[in-house]
Amino acid sequence: MVTPMQKGTQIICGVAAVTLVLVLATTVLLLMSEALPVSIDELSNNPSEYHLKRVTVSGTVSKLGLVSGPYFMLDEKIWVCYVKEDLTFIDISTIKNGDYVTVTGKFRAPDELRAESITKA
């Protein structure tokens, strides 16, 4: 037999579980939200508009292997960091200076894109 106290506890636990699932689902949806397709010129000219937003850009790689750290430039305007937010490296072994690539990631004004993915276009 379930006492009124146990029944109340079961209801509270059920509500808490549903709330937790909704919060987690919302967080996942926000993290997996569509990246905004944007040009490098648009990012360069309006960096504050895209600060901390997920974007997708395409451009020509330069300065790969020529600067300190896990960075290269796109179209000589945007720095791309190829270390993900979870601190794992993106494999860029097939990418070289002069390649045209598409990068998706979180933009940080004024000129850094933290890559989530990099593909040759």
pTM for this predicted structure: 0.73
Give me the residue label for tokens 């506890």.
9
Structure confidence by residue, pLDDT tens digits, 7-59: 666 666 566 555 654 545 444 444 557 999 999 999 999 999 999 999 999 99
- Residue 95 backbone phi and psi in degrees, to 5: -100, 140
CATH 2.40.50.140 for the 36-120 domain, yes or no: yes
Q: Where are the alpha helices (DSSP H) in 1-121?
A: 4-31, 40-45, 47-50
Q: Looking at residue 35, what DSSP letter applies?
A: P
Structure confidence by residue, pLDDT tens digits, 78-117: 999 999 989 999 999 999 999 999 999 999 999 999 999 9
Structural contact between residues 4 and 16, judged by C-beta atoms closer than 8 angstroms: no
Q: Cα(48)–Cα(60) distance, rounded to whole angstroms?
A: 23
Distances (CA, A) of 30 to 12, 19, 26: 27, 17, 6
**Residues paired with residue 74 on neighbouring β-strands, in sequence order:** 61, 78
Write the Ramachandran bin of 71: left for phi over 0, alpha for psi from -120 to 50, otherwise beta.
beta
Q: Cα(90)–Cα(44) distance, rounded to whole angstroms?
A: 24
**Residues paired with residue 61 on neighbouring β-strands, in sequence order:** 74
